[in-house]
Amino acid sequence: MAPPPRQEGSEWFDPRAICRGREPARAAFFAFEDKTLALRGAEKRASRRFLDLNGTWKFAWSPRAGEVPEGFPEPSFDDAAWGEMPVPGNWELNGHGYPIYTNVIYNFHSDPPWIRFRGKDPDYNPTGAYRRSFDVPQEWLDQGLEVYLHIGAVCCGCRAWLNGTELGFSTDSKLPTEFRLTGKVTPGRNVLAMEVLCWTAGAYLEDQDMWWLAGITRDVYAYARPTQHIRDVQVRAFADGLLEVDAELATAGSALLAGAALHCELYPRGQEGDAVARVAAFDLPAAARTAEVAVASGSCRVEGVRLWSAEVPNLYTLVVSLGKSGEEGSVSEALRVSVGFRTVEIRQGRLRLNGNELTIKGVNRHEHDQKTGHVVGRETMIQDILLMKTHNFNAVRCAHYPNDPLWYELCDEYGLYVVDEANIESHGVDFHWDKTLGNKPEWGASHMARVQRYVERDKNHPSIIFWSLGNEAGNGINHHRTYMWLKKRDPTRPVQYEHARLEPTWATNDMETIDDNTDIFCPMYPSQAKLAKYGEKYEGSASALPLIMVEYAHAMGNTLGGFQEYWDVIYKYGVLQGGFIWDWVDQGIVAKTVDGKEIWAYGGDFGGEGTPSDHNFCINGLVRPDRTPGPHCLEAKKVQQPVAFESLTGEGKTLALSRDAPVTIRLRNRYDFRSLAHLDFTWSLTANGVEVKSGTLPSDSQTGPHAVSEPISLFTDSVLHESLPKEAVVGPVEWHLNFMARWKGGVSGPGCLEAGHVEAEEQFVLTPATPFAFSPPPRPQASEPSVDDAGGATLHVVAGRTVATIDRATGMLVGLAAGGEELLAAPLQPNFWRPVTDNDYGANLQKDMAFWRHAGRDAKALRPPAVSSRGPGSVTVETELAIGLAGAKLALSYEISERGVLVAAKWKPVSAQGPSVVLSGGVAFLRAMEANRHIDVEGPKLRARWKDQGDWQRLTISDPTTSAGQPLRHGASIALQAVTGKTEAELLVHGLVPVPGKAAEELPGGLSGLAVEATGSPAERPVWKLHRAAGDGEVAPGDEIFFEAADGSGRRLAAFEGGAVAALERGVKDAASIFVLEVKGQAPPARIGFRGTLKGGFENVEWFGRGPHESYCDRFASARVGCFEGTILEQTFKYVRPQENGNKMDTRWMALKRGSPSSGCAGLLIAASGSSATAGGLSMQCHRYALDDFDGPEDKLKQRFKHSGELESRAETDFCVDAAQMGVGGIDSWGNKPLPQHMLAADRHLDWSFMLRPYTAEEVPEQGAASFKFSALAHLC
């Protein structure tokens, strides 16, 4: 395509134009005027050689490139009419333009290097003009100091002027730009002007998964240096105590000062300036190389050095001062460098630090603030680091660009391993070798400059343990050259590149072919099975690359299912050394709706129609935008904990007691460097979820890293008898033994956390030698229930205080009254659906499972509910419901007594033969009768190649005029759809459509017809008429059918033995258009259970089950079994986009409590009964929000409430009681379902029962052992 107007010939849009007038890259440091300031670690602003230029600047914004006020750089320009902009600050969050979020695609059309916006205005490419005046300190001029301007970061490109004289041009949004101001500054007022362009050619290398925000985003300041000064310094410190210092001096064309030398002093951190504590002092003699440059180097060895690691980040302070050798008072400047002695290497197939193998428990982190966007302050950085460390993360990947220099200083200090990454991602360009920018020579200089500059800036940080060449930028000559340069420039650190493979894309389960430009195999989103394959293949190899996942466990919404399974595999194989979760923080931006509700906005919330967006795909963090940890963050903490508790008197998570031998455990130390001496270990014993006894374990200072402790014996069976308050217990007793490891008080030093912080915990089921069970008191004689069976719409049963009402048509419990008060606001109805999670949407489950959405609501009684039996004080009513139209059934019985209603259910899924009819929205396979091949879809292409029923052969057949789950009939207008691929944001779904004007290829026998491709709109649009060969009626599996184009042309879909697929005119080879419609089976439901709604007045909840936070069948390691309580409102976790939440697995009972108990009813106890109770309970949840308000339709973008801030609590309480729910998944959010063992089997039969038991205040007083009382009531149910 021709370049857009005014772009050709402009350096803004030339990939070879990297900079002009910019100073060479150097290490991040500030040089003070004296050594005292450097020693005490003063802030830059304490120096007389520092001038802060942050603050409010004059600002003018234009929506198009280059449209800046004429003459604005001139000092005389009148900017009185301009607006203002904070520096640092993003334009879009300060009233100019709008935030845009995309993940894969650029927000401009991909046509390197030209910029054409994807929105309504193709010329939209905002430009900002900045002006700021300042006075240069007179002493700078009097002393003849060199003056420089530092711009910490500016997006995406900038030009700068001082007093009307252009300083230069720069690109790269995430690295500093420095210009020399010497000779251009004047006494008194100086005017600094900048032109900033939103998207230059460099934006093609900045397609990271984040908001597109423009502006000056890091600090701006001026600083002064002596004419001869330290231009750069490099420090290398190794585990053997060797310290090497190399320096480069700028001499400004004058002779090097006689006797010039760098004086180096090394102190332990916190003891700077203490001559006794100083561990090294040495000079580096300087020698001139040219008239402009001199160099100096030297080394020393420090004996008994304390090593740096993320666990114990011992730091030293190196003060480097420039002066004359031996003359203390001759110092002209001094700088300070944090030094950590450590050695990073890959040896014998393992990543090692200081000789020890590392386990990377990492997370990817974007620079994001919910209010200020890409401007992140010190307090937020420290908050992130402390949250990471308290949740058992030891590493962070700077995704996907160099961060603010302060971030690395804090990681050095607090202790985090860092993967530093070049600001290179060209995701929106094809990854194939002939198209990727990584293999285009004209982009080589841009790639090289970005790698070289970030390495030079960050080279002195001990926290950086390996470098990254970039992210998702293809592979090719440019990446090979940057790899080779980096290995030569810094041989002390490994280099990784996730795209260092021969294949253009990565695979979930299959192994890629690793290229030579990486030292680490760093796959993206591998499955647990893929890790196991690599481990099995390379565990014994001394030359294999260690595997460290660069991104895994995509943390979008309700997710991180299967995380325990990841770490089970990692701990099994030493060659698997961990990975980095994607990612840390939900990138929501605080905003308000039109009605004033505060929300976290995401892609699509700004800019109006036509604005490019990947919607809520930026909401994939472990913590919310305000840094509140999500439940999945707690799961990561538990699974990654550095101490494991292992049973020696049982298997797995059980401990067996005997009368003679004590229960015994051992500790496994999973730290890489620490012993366990800093931890206090405690245990607590619970009976039915209530703590009855506790104690401590002996302190352990002997168990070193990667070692196991000696066996630790605790108590015998007798302790259980002594601990139990027998008068409070009715029925069987469940015992659990909990362990916790907390940081000791009085422990101080680098890397230490607050006293009492829980570092690790574990729970074991205790099995006593003799089971405990306490008989309940005899029940009083209950009155016989009465049944109103007059044949109306409902059936009423009165049993003492309890009145139950059952609908005859649906078989559902529609009323439950106690003491004259009705409790139900809506029927107790079967439930097979859950509010769609982001992972569900990504795997297309909202469509695959669509016929389950209303299956419970629409259930019909196959036989009217009728009394089946009468017992002492109870009546049992039975019925059977038809669920959907495919043949599934739910048998129900209600045993009604004065205690409440015992609900028993038996789930009978569709038979193994599959459904008897074909349902709209279901998955089917089309087998061409004559060719005996199934139609398959690969990308846009249709073929008929194989006889099997695989993923490529899966087609969705929908009649948009009916709801999902309804039978398809002869003559229906239908849409045929298939998954054609996936991006790292979504599955790609397209319709199978005839292509007008395009001839089909490879047709046999001279036939001609239209090509049929999978290129139709993802929206369900009827393109075909479905006909049964047998004529009118419902379509059944095995029917012979044909598809005729719905446009009236009469063309029919046809397939041939050679693989060709086409749309042929009616009467042309009709035999090729006959297909057999095959259905492998119905997709299983997302859950199997019940939902109900209680009337207003219920405020609090207490339960005996897993908690205190939510849990699912593939994410429950962090949720222990116990008794928990809180408000019902607190049980809803508000994911940024509403979805399924709040589930409590293994719940024995849940008590929903009224805020103001009445004499008739204080609350409702929901208790697992019978085998459901003995098997560990059911899944339950409760909300003061409507469950349907969490849900979304088939199209996520049409969800009613797109943001949790829009949800409105209500007086009623919705609750769920489930026999089973599928897992939440967690490999990715664009195709992978939960692991097979975490899905519900389509043919799984289930029996479960639970009691709805209204209770009075007298039965369960608020004071005393209420939890034991509820357990007793549950047993009496």
Pair 402, 174: CB distance under 8 Å:
yes
256 φ, ψ (degrees, to nearest 5): -60, 135
Q: So which residues are the catalytic ones? A: 472, 551
- Of 1113, 1122, 1121, 1162, whose CA–CA distance to 1140 is shortest? 1113
Pair 737, 764: CB distance under 8 Å:
yes
Token pair listed for 233:
């310094």
- Of 1091, 1037, 1090, 1083, whose CA–CA distance to 1244 is shortest? 1083
SS3 content of the chain, % helix, strand, coil (to 5): 15, 40, 50
| Residue tagged 């003799």 (tokens) | 770
Pair 856, 1085: CB distance under 8 Å:
no
CA atoms within 13 A on the CB side of 190: 21
* Cis peptide preceding 156, ω within 30 of 0: yes
Q: How far apart are CA 424 and CA 481, in angstroms?
A: 14
Strands of 664-669's sheet, edge to edge? 643-647, 664-669, 712-713
Strands of 547-552's sheet, edge to edge? 495-496, 464-468, 417-421, 395-398, 360-365, 576-581, 547-552
Spatial neighbors of 770 by CB under 8 A, at least 6 apart, are 717
Q: How many helices (H) and strands (E) does the chain have?
A: 15, 75
| Cα-based torsion angle of the residue sequence 1233, 1235, 1236, 1240 in order, rounded to the nearest 10 degrees | -70
- Of 623, 638, 621, whose CA–CA distance to 1106 is shortest? 638
| Residue tagged 């996942």 (tokens) | 549
Q: How far apart are CA 1241 and CA 1107, in angstroms?
A: 26
Q: Residue 436 carries which DSSP code?
A: -
Listed in order, strand segments (DSSP E) in 532-675 are 547-552, 576-581, 589-592, 598-601, 643-647, 654-656, 664-669
Q: How far apart are CA 279 and CA 305, in angstroms?
A: 9
* Cis peptide preceding 1108, ω within 30 of 0: yes
Spatial neighbors of 50 by CB under 8 A, at least 6 apart, are 30, 44, 221, 222, 223
Q: How far apart are CA 1252 and CA 1274, in angstroms?
A: 10
Tell me which amino acid residue 647 is. S
Tell me which amino acid residue 184 is. K
Token pair listed for 407:
């971030």
Q: Residue 690 carries which DSSP code?
A: E
- Of 873, 776, 369, whose CA–CA distance to 590 is shortest? 369
* Cis peptide preceding 400, ω within 30 of 0: yes
Q: How far apart are CA 308 and CA 351, in angstroms?
A: 16
Token pair listed for 589:
């931006």
- Of 597, 606, 582, 443, whose CA–CA distance to 525 is shortest? 582
Pair 842, 1231: CB distance under 8 Å:
yes
Q: How far apart are CA 1092 and CA 1087, in angstroms?
A: 15
